[in-house]
Amino acid sequence: MKHRVVITGLGVVSPIGTGILKFWESLANGVCGVDYVTAFDTSKFEVKIGAEVKNFDPGQYLERKEVRRMDRVSQFAVAASKMALLDSKLTITDDNADQIGVIIGSGIGGMKTFEDQARTFVEKGPGRVSPFFIPMMIPDMSAGFVSIATGAKGPNHAVVTACASATHSIGDSLRIIQNGEAKAMIAGGTEAAITGLAYAGFTSAGALSKNNEDPKGASRPFDLNRDGFIMGEGCGVLIIEELNYALERGASIYAELVGFGESGDAYHMTAPDPEGDGATRAMTRAIQDAGIHPNQISYINAHGTSTHANDKVETLAIHKVFGEYAKSVAISSTKSMTGHLLGAAGGIEAVASILAIQNSLIPPTINYQTPDPDCDLDYVPNQARKAELEYVMSDSLGFGGHNGCLIFRKYHG
């Protein structure tokens, strides 16, 4: 018998607000976090827009010395984790530290540190490279820093599966608790890749929107005129607990985590399988894991990146999984507001899915104006929609053919 698993705390750092209250208010009202990039000089770049986290003060969560020794990607992770722990009222002590773990994924890791130190190496020589370069850069260190900052001594690792990293981190945490290896997990994803080198790479790959004239309207998932994703940054973290452990300490419960599915495309290093096979299998496995029928899903928080290939393939996969019901299930992409947070995307989208259940409200897909014949489902265009949500699915599809899917259920006590 697997242990039941629930969500008791949420933390988020995002382009549309830090903290769950501001984040949810922005989602519910269709607020867009995309604007002109300020993190670096974009004058020589084709793409000049992004979804930056504004007014983030790491000093609210970390000592000054700690801030200097962490890349922005880890600062986000520690901040969101501390928010989530506070929200859950879970105190980590010597008595329970070994039963509380951390899995924080990142697709890229400390990109700003890498870029800065590479420049130092070239311009000033190897002796000037920081002794903190490696621990600030490597993707696992966000999980490490969260463990150090919180005292959590249970299972601790990092998942690096591109845009599915956070979803896989949450799924791995589900399995750990179901199998009795921990009582609680701090799980999610973080990313801070709004840098010149990252923009140069993603632009060369043809992945980013070049709609510089209309930043607020540039991220348009499932719309016929979509032209690429918007780079975003931030972090989403969940406190995931074994049900009885949460009840024994009197925790408030947001939702139950009941399903996880994953798969590989085995197709291409960046493009999704055009038949949607991998995405179809990940969704199907999550539904089977939850022990439900596809028609019981009330809402899908789609991966919905605003690229031509992804949105078309994800729509096709939903058709394959849900059959005739595909036309009836509500679907939206919150990336229309937050941009694409890469390895952190599944984290903040899990937070959005849980808050949708909590508030009986489906966030919209903003900027939806021109229907695409290849994307023919209900994408909750432009306005949030009231709805009682029992089961909610969250999809993530990553470069390398990594697919992940989570299912949350309304908690009834």
CA 340 – CA 357 distance, rounded (Å): 22
In the structure encoding, which two tokens stand for residue 142, read together? 């966000």
For residue 308, indicate whether it is catalytic. no
For residue 303, indicate whether it is catalytic. yes
| Among the listed residues 366, 339, 350, 359, the one whose alpha carbon sits nearest the alpha carbon of residue 30 | 366
Residue carrying structure tokens 């701090």: 186
Name the DSSP letter for residue 51: B
Residue of 235, 303, 402, 405 marked active site: 303
Cα 229 to Cα 45, 89, 301, 339: the distances in Å are 16, 36, 16, 7
In the structure encoding, which two tokens stand for residue 124, read together? 């000033």
For residue 412, indicate whether it is catalytic. no
Are the C-beta atoms of 187 and 175 separated by less than 8 Å? no
| Among the listed residues 147, 167, 111, 172, the one whose alpha carbon sits nearest the alpha carbon of residue 343 | 167
**Burial of 60 (C-beta count, 10 Å sphere; 0-12/13-18/19+):** exposed
Residue carrying structure tokens 């949607």: 276
Q: How many CA atoms lie within 13 A of 31 on its CB side?
A: 13
H helices within 91-140, ranges in order?
Answer: 111-124, 133-137
Helix (H, G, I), strand (E, B) or coil at 133: helix
Residue of 163, 235, 375, 405 marked active site: 163
Are the C-beta atoms of 14 and 338 separated by less than 8 Å? yes
The count of residues in the chain is: 413
Residue of 32, 168, 235, 340 marked active site: 340
Beta strands in 4-63 (DSSP E): 5-14, 17-18, 35-36, 49-50
Are the C-beta atoms of 357 and 389 separated by less than 8 Å? yes
Are the C-beta atoms of 236 and 344 separated by less than 8 Å? yes
Q: What is the dihedral of CA 16, 18, 24, 26, to 10 degrees?
A: -30
| Among the listed residues 5, 2, 392, 289, the one whose alpha carbon sits nearest the alpha carbon of residue 174 | 5
Tell me which residues are annotated as active site: 163, 303, 340
